[in-house]
């Protein structure tokens, strides 16, 4: 008599083995949802990224849906629960996302002026009370989203390391959500000073969204690892290769302009360890952020 337990066990093993090839193939959806970091007005981001949408649809032969979430936290959660396949994260928001969704993979990083780094700019109202960074003591200082690298983490660490200014006691942090909101608030005198990405600041000046004559630069942060492009790790290997190649080989200035970079270079998770170390300096608990 055939042992029933052996028969059932063998059937289960056979089923498991037959399922392996399908699992190994990964996901290959007909439409890819590509999320852009919500660091400016959503309508502006979507409009500026239309050349990207056209390029990816032609290159990947997929329908492309551009997504701008309400804030950094909702973007992290969307990646965590598989509601987007490809995402352009800020450096620190990537670190937060990776802590919640270990399977996501950074694969490309923006290159500016030949380097995969950028800086945060600290600005003040031109005729306001803050003339130098030290004048921030006892005053309000504008940041963007809490999970923003160049509009929170980097300038906050910079103020502490260079000037001994601790945001928990020496000045009042005011979170305004987006980089452009910080620039406008400082320009309009709603807050005396604030910080944002230097690249975004320059773009806002170029588009005449802000008037540079009403602002003063008071400092620049140390170089920061640039924004990474990421994708879900469970996508089909062939699709992942095509996505990676599409970004690393893009040359169209109209596409690159939406990312404010001159090109992309390959990257990996280790490149962002410096931000994990910075979070420790600021005593930030990654599990409670984002």
Please say which residue of 167, 188, 222 terminates a domain: 222
Q: What is the pLDDT of residue 289?
A: 58
| Boundary of a domain, candidates 172, 193, 222 | 222
238 lies in the same domain as 187 = no
Query: Does the pLDDT of residue 46 top 80, yes or no?
Result: yes
Using the CB atoms, write b or e for 137-161: b if 16+ within 10 Å.
bebebbbbbbbbbbbbbbbbbbbbe
Q: What is the pLDDT of residues 106-135, one digit of tens each?
A: 999 999 889 999 999 999 999 999 999 999
Quick one: 213 and 127 in the same domain? yes
pTM of the model: 0.73
Question: 245: left (phi > 0), else alpha (psi -120 to 50), else beta?
Answer: alpha
Tokens 């939406």 label which residue?
A: 258
Domain count, the chain: 2
Residue 21: pLDDT band with limits 50, 70, 90: very low
Domain that holds residue 47: 25-112+226-288
Residue 9: band (very low, low, confident or very high) from pLDDT cuts 50, 70, 90: very low
Please report whether residue 19 resides in a domain: no
CB-based contacts of 147: which residues, under 8 Å, 6+ apart?
72, 73, 76, 90, 92, 93, 96, 289, 290
Q: Is pLDDT above 50 for 5? A: no
Let me know if residue 215 belongs to a domain: yes
Q: Is the pLDDT of residue 34 over 90?
A: yes
- Give the mean pLDDT of the chain: 89
Boundary of a domain, candidates 180, 196, 222: 222
Indicate if the pLDDT at residue 176 is higher than 90.
yes
Residues 216, 231, single domain; the answer is no
Specify whether 190 is located in the same domain as 232. no
């Amino acid at each position: 008599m055939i042992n029933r337990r052996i028969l059932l066990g063998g059937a289960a093993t056979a089923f498991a083995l037959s399922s392996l090839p399908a699992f190994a193939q990964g996901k290959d959806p007909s439409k890819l949802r590509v999320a852009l970091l919500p660091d400016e007005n959503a309508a502006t981001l979507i409009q500026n990224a239309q050349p990207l949408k056209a390029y990816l649809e032609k290159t990947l032969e997929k329908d492309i849906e551009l997504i701008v979430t309400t804030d950094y936290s909702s973007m992290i959660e969307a990646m965590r629960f598989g509601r987007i396949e490809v995402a352009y994260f800020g450096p620190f928001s990537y670190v937060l996302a990776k802590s919640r969704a270990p399977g996501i993979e950074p694969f490309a990083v923006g290159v500016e002026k030949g380097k995969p780094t950028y800086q945060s700019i600290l600005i003040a109202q031109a005729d306001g009370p803050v003339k130098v960074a030290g004048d921030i003591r006892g005053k309000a200082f504008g940041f963007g989203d809490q999970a923003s690298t160049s509009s929170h983490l980097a300038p906050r660490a910079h103020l502490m390391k260079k000037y001994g200014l601790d945001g928990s006691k020496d000045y009042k942090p005011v979170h305004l959500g987006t980089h452009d909101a910080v620039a406008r608030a400082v320009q309009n005198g709603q807050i005396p000073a604030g910080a944002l990405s230097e690249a975004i600041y320059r773009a806002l000046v170029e588009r005449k969204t802000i008037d540079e004559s009403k602002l003063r630069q008071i400092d620049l942060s140390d170089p920061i690892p640039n924004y990474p492009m990421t994708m879900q790790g469970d996508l089909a290997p062939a699709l992942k290769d095509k996505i990676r190649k599409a970004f690393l080989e893009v040359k169209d200035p109209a596409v690159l302009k939406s990312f404010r970079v001159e090109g992309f270079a390959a990257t990996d998770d280790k490149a962002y360890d410096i931000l994990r170390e910075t979070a420790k300096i600021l005593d930030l608990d990654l599990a409670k952020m984002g």
